[in-house]
Structure 1
């Protein structure tokens, strides 16, 4: 459990206090461009409903196409320019982590856009007047034609993906399926509140998958239907693990226990995609740490990490619910008593093992945080 705190994944906790992460966050969750994309996807869905757009083009295709188009904007190009200083960074971990933070937030944003646009189509009375204009309709027709022409290349057909690709495609959607409230308020970008938690859990799942596979060179054929079935399976597994009231309380508080469980279940199912059935592990867990770490100075300053001010937690309406369990499953107690000497000896070994594991975990966290801190934290 030590890997997770309330709303964060400890090994990368210092990332969220850096200017570069704040720039990524603000660039992604930009309300004016968000509204434009919602309006455009809604218009594309209207055209599709009137048989003016290929029915096989999905809302996901539409949102992704608009996301690619948005990369031409000055706002996005400025962020790209600011991130270029890390392209020649000798530390691949930092560069990959910044890329993951951006992709996770972008993925959740696109999903929010799809859901808001679909809600507009099902409830036209919610449509803001400025969402409909002759210019918008003309541009939507042009985009619709481009989507139709490129459907074979841009649709979510089966294609080869590496472990990191699958993790980035699956984890944010699992978290949105668990955390985003229903019914959701319109045009509120609800997934924005999940940013740190989502980046952290995604990193935790990637660490677990790569630790199990031992390599990033694996590839698997993955389609949208396979991905969606996996997401449904993961969410179902987690729902079945907890009573509804306790689950709601754990969700509202960003329970580290639940976050750890989400990461383990998701990592296990993604790992199974890349492993032959005979070689799949019976159980899998997040990695503790590399076996050999560089020496750490004992004076490294570790900053506490929190969610963004203004939306630190989802509102907790379940204060009267029973306390969350301290463990996922209680171990059955043995009926027979062990001899006192053996029992004491075993207890000592367990305690020593627990202390060693905790010590290794803390060294790993300090090591990871130092790498991030020295590369991207302001001097």
Structure 2
């Protein structure tokens, strides 16, 4: 089933043509604030190198701290205000999807900041003159003290996380590890070009994990080292699945087949965190149709709320960021009960069953897209 097509996850494809998504995109990938954060992390790394900052504080800690501080800016507060329209939305799917889109882009941005700052420290000749100032150095010392104090107050490196938390922590970094080219150009925000693909694959992984677990109430203690080992394992598995030349072509074209494979491998490994060894499934597949398709038909016609005019206040997203991928040829693994049924039937009935399955998937995609469209697309 072609869940991935044209660089996106089909069930949420309409999201990317809406003003609210463009607002999220432009707010995240804001070059002036990006440069400020790169300069600040570079200065913090310099202080650390000179033993003026606790060595246990990581570049990830630094970038995340700056991200939290940036929420006080007028630019970010304006976006928060515009997104409040969806906080009390009866349709949680739309609200959670917008939150995911924002978190995925923010996660990739923070990772790009870390890598650019680390490159500045290893190659000081790349440091732009305006990245060094007395004010910057003074502010960096204050931030360094705050980071040290926070680290000393945190006694445990593990954090209790639910499935969605793990998905958001793992998937964007997996995709950056696969897609961001090396060597990367300095101060170009390379992950910006992954935005639609990354949001879609993250949603696909979440759907796969929740379909396997059957609940969002599971929790697991997850340390950064465990997370990083998982990311390395996923990338290694995908590298071994394709010869390098073929893999490179698939990466360059945002191959739907590769995107689907990434989603399945990642969902399988994340699901294994929450399941006892004896209960882990032999195979994982992305869900084909949620049970709510027939449980909440009224949501198709609810919420025709217009976006406020101010959603178009920032410049629109560039249209040249994405290349159109080839079409997906592989279908997700069928649900167990359907698999048994297919093997027992004649070729004619097998074909009929496949057509019915495809029809159900297409109905689900139209249903999901209409839910999103009626809530966040201007009338």
TM value normalised by structure 1 = 0.84
Deviation larger for 326-335 or 261-270: 326-335
Contact 1:107/1:172 (<8 A) preserved: yes
Whether contact under 8 Å (2:6, 2:326) holds in the other structure is no
Q: How far 1:356 sits from its partner (Å)?
A: 1.1
**Structure 1 residue 33 displacement after superposition:** 0.1
Aligned to 1:154: 154
Check the 8 A contact 1:246/1:323 in 2, yes or no.
Answer: no
Choose 153-162 or 134-143, whichever is displaced more.
153-162
1:316 deviation in Å?
39
Using a 3 Å threshold, how does the CA distance of structure 1 residues 361 and 309 change in structure 2: closer, same or farther? Answer: closer
Partner of 2:247: 247
CA displacement at 1:294 relative to structure 2: 17
Residue 337 (structure 2) aligns with: none
Over residues 206-255 of structure 1, what are the superposed CA-to-partner deviations in whole Å (9 max), with x where a residue is unaligned? 00000000000000000000000000000000000000000000000001
1:44–1:53 CA contact under 8 A, matched in 2: yes
Asked whether the equivalents of residues 238 and 262 of structure 1 are also in contact (C-alpha less than 8 Å), the reply is: yes
State whether residues 249 and 318 of structure 1, in contact with CA within 8 Å, keep that contact through their aligned partners in structure 2: no
Shift, 1:157, TM fit: 1.4
Give aligned pairs, total.
372
SS of 1:336's equivalent in the other structure is coil
Q: Cα gap change, 1:219/1:105 in structure 2, threshold over 3 Å: closer, same or farther?
A: same
Q: Alpha carbon RMSD of aligned pairs, Å?
A: 9.9
Report if aligned partners of 1:160, 1:221 keep a CA contact under 8 Å in 2. Answer: yes
Partner of 1:311: 304
SS at match of 1:300: helix
> Is 2:41–2:63's contact at 8 Å kept on the other side of the alignment?
yes
Over 3 Å counting, the alpha-carbon distance change for 1:152 and 1:279 in structure 2 is farther
Please report how far the alpha carbon of residue 349 of structure 1 lies from its aligned counterpart in structure 2 after TM superposition: 2.4
Question: Retained in 1: the 8 A contact 2:7–2:256?
Answer: yes
Quickly say closer, same or farther: Cα 1:320–1:153, change in 2 above 3 A. Answer: closer
Bigger mean CA deviation after superposition, 335-344 or 20-29: 335-344
Cα displacement (A) at 1:15: 0.3
Secondary structure at 1:339 match in 2: coil
How high is the TM-score relative to the length of structure 2? 0.84
Question: Deviations along 1:124-152, whole A, 9 cap, x unmatched?
Answer: 00000000000000000000000000114
Distance 1:353 1:317, change over 3 A: farther
Question: Would you say the 8 A contact 1:252–1:314 is kept in 2?
Answer: no
Q: Which moved more, 1:343-352 or 1:122-131?
A: 343-352
Q: Does 1:95 align with 2:90?
A: no
Cα shift at 1:308: 29
Closer, same or farther in 2 for the Cα pair 1:336/1:47, shift >3 Å? closer
Deviation readout 1:241-274 (Å, 9 max, x if unpaired): 0000000000000011000000000000000000
